Amino acid sequence: MDVLMGEDELRQQLMLKSEEYRRLAAEHKSYAEELDKLSARHHLTEDERLQEIMLKKKKLVLKDQMYSLVQKYRREIQHGS
C-alpha cells in the first residue's frame, strides 16, 4: 500500500475495513442531519439551542475520534503492520 496515501483514501479504506470507523461515521452523519434540520428553522427555542450546542459538541468528538483512527491506520501502513 502507498505510504503517501491521502486523507480521503485512508478514510475510504477505513470505511471498508473498520466497523468502528463506519459506526463513528454513521453517528457523525446522523448528528449532521439533525443539525441541518435545526439550522433550517428561522427561530430556535432555548431547548433547541441547547440541543444544537450538544449536537455540535458530539459531532466534534466523533470527528476527533475518526481522525485518530485515520492517523493510527496511517502509522500502521507506514510501519507495515
Q: What is the mean pLDDT of residues 29-44?
A: 96
Confidence of residue 81 (pLDDT cuts 50, 70, 90): low
Tracing cell 476527533 back to the chain, one arrives at: 64
Q: How high is the pLDDT of residue 4?
A: 60
- pLDDT of residue 20 exceeding 70: yes
- pLDDT of residue 36 exceeding 80: yes
68-79 pLDDT, tens digit each: 999 999 999 888
Query: What are the grid coordinates assigned to 77, written together?
Result: 501502513
- Specify whether the CB–CB gap between 17 and 80 falls below 8 A: no
**Which of 70, 77, 76, 67 has the alpha carbon at shortest distance from 10?**
70
Q: What is the pTM of this model?
A: 0.84
- pLDDT of residue 48 exceeding 50: yes
Distance CA 41, CA 39 (A): 5
Q: How high is the pLDDT of residue 79?
A: 87
Distance CA 16, CA 26 (A): 13
The count of other CB atoms within 10 Å of the CB of residue 53 is: 10
